[in-house]
Amino acid sequence: MTHQSLKCNKAAILLGGHSSRMGGQPKFLLKDGKGQSYLKRQIKALEKADRIYLSAADAAQLALIQNVYKDKDCYGLIDVVKDCGPLGGLYTVLQQLKDEDEWIFVTACDAPELTESMVGSLIQMSADAYEQGYDCMVYQDSRGRIHPLCGLYRPSLLPAIQQMLRYKDYKMMHLLIRSRCLIVSSAEMGIPDTCFVNINTPEAYERWKNTSLNMPKEQKILCICGIKNSGKTTYIEKLLKEIKSHGKSAAVIKHDGHDFEGDRPGTDTYRYHQAGAAATAIFSKNRYMINADEEIDLQQLINGFSDVDVILVEGMKQSELPKIEIVREKISRTLSCCGKNLIAVVTDCEADFDGIEKWPLEDCSRCLNYLLQGGLRY
């Protein structure tokens, strides 16, 4: 199955059981600080899916939502095996795909910070994962915690789930152990740990509701790669102007694989640095600049630009972040970056790049559309 023919256009939200720890209040109907329900937030994050399954414990639970979301391409399901937790919901969902070999994104209703980028990053990796024989793909956060209910699953797992249900083993982590599971680092994808928050108690709900008004906006992150003189800076300049013209803000982080001088000779801050200052800073009412002799990683820099819509990273060609590579015929005709999450090759070459999508070098509209549309490939 090729990158082009692999299907991944369905999603599922597991509505959960009886919410005993929430006093019986359905978690999917809880609202954030702006009055938006968990379920509505998740459906918004999954809106590019052709079909969203809502897996309910029983008919009464399903009745609470079927009229509200019937116009959102959502389809209600009732768990075919009762009281088995999320494993039973996953089994019910995968039964819908048993005659097809395709991925489906699965999440739980108590994860209200789900974003388009969390879904899209996995989908960008799904073709390679399929070719390598994986049955599922899930995230691992920066603390090492694995999140089974934020991932892609295939119907190939049905025999393993049936066996687990037969022996009353309902633990999702045991399913991952039994399967060929690809663990994806959320930090490598630029996804903060706050996106994996789960709300299971009234106390946790109140804390989250009070902070949800101030949660950082979702960002699109893209690496612009290419060898020296390939045209990265020129392309980024054009892209920045287009992003701004569409009312969006952007930041650029440049990675230097060697080292660089962070200030200009002759300035006061340069002299302070030469005199031994470990760090210098200069600021006015309009801008500031910090120059420090210390190690810093990309995630720290990304966290410092939490208010912008798009972060462009020049370089980092060996990272697993979503990336494009610029290949200019006068300079090179081959790729130099890591193939993981390579979205497209921006080029003026006629050559084929192993089936990877090609975007024109002189026109950044394809890249702009990718960023503004969320970077998802449902």
Report the CATH number that the domain containing residue 144 is assigned in CATH: 3.90.550.10
Q: Within this chain, do residues 53 and 188 fall inside the same structural domain, yes or no? A: yes
Report long-range pairs for 29-33 (Cβ below 8 Å, ≥24 apart). 29/64, 29/65, 30/112, 30/199, 30/205, 30/209, 31/209, 32/112, 32/208, 32/209, 32/212, 32/213, 33/209, 33/210, 33/211, 33/212, 33/213
- Are residues 97 and 226 both part of a single domain? no
pLDDT at 4: 35
Q: Report pLDDT for 377.
A: 32
- Do residue 119 and residue 225 come from a single domain? no
Residue 272 lies in a domain: no
Binding-site positions: 14-16, 27, 83, 110
Counting the structural domains of the chain, the total is 2
> Which residue, 159, 188, 214, sits at the end of a domain?
214
How does pLDDT run across 112-156, given as a tens digit for each residue? Answer: 888 888 898 898 889 899 999 999 999 999 889 999 999 999 999
Q: Could you give the residue ranges of the DSSP H alpha helices within 67-179?
A: 86-95, 116-131, 158-166, 172-178
So what's the pLDDT on residue 376?
36
Residue 196 shares a structural domain with residue 247: no
Same-domain check for residues 365 and 254: yes
pLDDT at 8: 67
Tokens in use for 124?
């960008």
Question: What does the pLDDT look like over 13-43, one tens digit per residue?
Answer: 998 766 666 666 777 777 777 777 788 888 8
143 or 377, higher pLDDT: 143
The answer to whether 105 and 119 have CB atoms below 8 angstroms apart is: yes
Q: What is the pTM of this model?
A: 0.61
Which positions make up the binding site for Mg(2+)?
Answer: 110
pLDDT bracket for residue 210 (50, 70, 90): confident
Residue 159, domain member (yes or no): yes
Q: Which of 84-88, 210-214, 233-237 has the lowest mean pLDDT?
A: 210-214
Q: Please tell me whether residues 126 and 228 are part of one structural domain.
A: no
Q: How would residue 70 be classed by pLDDT, with cut points 50, 70 and 90?
A: low
Q: What's residue 149's pLDDT?
A: 95
Confidence category of residue 213, pLDDT binned at 50, 70, 90: low
Q: What mean pLDDT comes out for the span 239-253?
A: 86
Domain membership of residue 100 (yes or no) is: yes
For residue 81, what are its two tokens?
């095996």
Question: Residue 105: pLDDT band by 50, 70, 90 thresholds?
Answer: very high
How far apart (Å, rounded) are the C-alpha atoms in residues 120 and 48? 10
Split at pLDDT 50, 70, 90, the class of 66 is low
Average pLDDT over residues 347-367: 86
Residue 323 lies in a domain: yes
Of all residues in the chain, the percent with pLDDT exceeding 70 is: 90
Q: Quote the mean pLDDT of the chain.
A: 84
Of the given ranges (91-100, 147-156, 179-188, 306-315), which has the lowest mean pLDDT? 306-315
- What does the pLDDT average to over 290-297? 85
Q: Is the pLDDT of residue 216 over 60?
A: no
Q: CA-to-CA distance for 120 and 195, rounded, in angstroms?
A: 14
Is residue 3 predicted with pLDDT exceeding 50? Answer: no
Residues 186 and 229 both lie in one domain? no
Pick the residue with more confidence: 217 or 314? Answer: 314
Range of the domain at 174: 10-214
CATH number at residue 336: 3.40.50.300
Do 135 and 229 belong to one domain?
no
Domain boundary among 214, 246, 268: 214
Is 282 within a domain?
Answer: no
- Given strand 74-78, what is the order of strands in its sheet? 74-78, 51-56, 10-14, 104-108, 146-153, 136-140, 181-185
Contact partners, residue 72, CB within 8 Å, separation at least 6: 43, 47, 52
Q: Within this chain, do residues 119 and 157 fall inside the same structural domain, yes or no? A: yes
Tens-place pLDDT, residues 360-376: 988 888 888 888 765 43
Would you say residue 5 lies in a domain? no
Known binding-site residue numbers for GTP? 14-16, 27, 83, 110
Check residues 83 and 217 and name the one with the higher pLDDT.
83
Residue 83 covered by a domain: yes
Which pLDDT score, from 0 to 100, does residue 7 have? 53
Considering only residues 307 and 182, tell me which one the structure prediction assigns the higher pLDDT. Answer: 182
Q: Are 205 and 225 in a shared domain? A: no
CB 111 within 8 A of CB 16: no
Is 27 in the same domain as 110? yes
Mean pLDDT for the stretch of residues 66-78: 71
Structure confidence at residue 174 (pLDDT): 96
Task: Give yes or no: residues 141 and 235 share one domain.
Answer: no
Q: Is residue 335 part of a domain?
A: yes
Cα(220)–Cα(222) distance, rounded to whole angstroms? 7
For 66-75, 101-110, 329-338, which range has the lowest pLDDT when averaged over its residues? 66-75
Identify the domain boundary among 214, 236, 251. 214
Q: Give the gyration radius of the chain's Cα atoms.
A: 23
Give me the pLDDT at residue 171, please. 95
Higher pLDDT, 190 or 166: 166
